[in-house]
């Protein structure tokens, strides 16, 4: 696929394994493919320390998120109310006898900035706009962070094994995707090549498209009065 892969963070655990990790994957339509890897992956294997050849089961939860976008603060003049008034602070006689203080209100968010530090109204307005832009930037950044956190939470669910999307059975060299009930054999080739994974993803995409079309058809039937809406 020509994707690039860069490890961002790896958090080891006390068992010589990994508790958490993150990576940045870039390339053409990478999110469109890898979003289907979101969920709980179950691994069944016989550890090298297991003397009775018992199969152990473990899970890993995967979240696939688009790269965070830079916050672009767009302040329209129509969204601002600018008031001027007499400064009440220090600054000399000139400041106190002219309408040099500036109060800018961003109407969509009701964010208010008041500046009266400078003698000039123009300077105070410039500083007020700087402060307003910084506050709106931080508010949008926090909103983006919350949206990404909500997206990650909705993707990974509770992390319970009952929410598994795929099982990797090493003793039987078998991979089963439970969403489409598909099974792939030769687990070594699955991890070494990548084409079996892409084949699974393609099947998942087709299944996803069918579900969307079925929902659109169902909605159309409801609108035409030919079908009762689902409860």
User: What is the tens place of the pLDDT at every residue in 148-171?
Assistant: 777 766 666 555 555 789 999 999
How many structural domains is the chain composed of? 2
| Residue at a domain's end among 117, 138, 159 | 138
Domain that holds residue 59: 4-69+149-223
Q: In this prediction, what percent of the chain has a pLDDT beyond 70?
A: 85
Query: Do 96 and 62 belong to one domain?
Result: no
Query: Do 59 and 95 belong to one domain?
Result: no
Q: Has residue 229 been placed in a domain?
A: no
Query: Do 132 and 174 belong to one domain?
Result: no
Q: Has residue 231 been placed in a domain?
A: no
Convert 178-217 to b/e letters by CB count within 10 Å (16 or more is b): eeeeeebeebeebeeeeebbeebbeebeeeeeeeeeeeee
What global pTM score does this model have?
Answer: 0.62
Query: Do 125 and 86 belong to one domain?
Result: yes
Q: Has residue 144 been placed in a domain?
A: no
- Over residues 7-55, the pLDDT tens digits come to 888 888 887 888 888 898 999 989 889 989 988 999 999 988 888 989 9
């Amino acid at each position: 696929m020509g994707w690039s892969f860069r490890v961002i963070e790896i958090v080891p655990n006390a068992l010589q394994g990994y508790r958490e990790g993150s990576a940045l994957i870039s390339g053409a339509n990478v999110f469109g493919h890898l979003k289907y890897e979101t969920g709980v992956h179950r691994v069944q294997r016989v550890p090298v320390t297991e003397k009775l050849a018992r199969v152990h089961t473990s899970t890993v939860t995967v979240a696939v998120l688009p790269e965070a976008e830079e916050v672009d603060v767009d302040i329209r003049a129509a969204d601002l109310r600018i008031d001027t008034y007499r400064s009440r602070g220090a600054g000399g006689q000139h400041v106190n006898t002219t309408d040099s203080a500036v109060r800018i209100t961003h109407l969509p968010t009701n964010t208010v900035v008041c500046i009266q530090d400078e003698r000039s109204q123009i300077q105070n307005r410039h500083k007020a706009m700087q402060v307003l832009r910084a506050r709106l930037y931080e508010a949008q950044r926090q909103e983006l962070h919350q949206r990404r956190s909500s997206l990650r939470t909705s993707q990974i669910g509770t992390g319970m094994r009952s929410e598994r999307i795929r099982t990797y059975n090493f003793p039987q060299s078998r991979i089963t995707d439970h969403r489409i009930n598909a099974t792939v054999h030769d687990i070594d080739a699955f991890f070494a090549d990548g084409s079996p994974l892409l084949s699974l993803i393609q099947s998942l995409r087709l299944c996803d498209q069918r579900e969307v079309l079925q929902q659109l058809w169902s909605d159309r039937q409801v609108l035409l009065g030919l079908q009762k809406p689902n409860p």
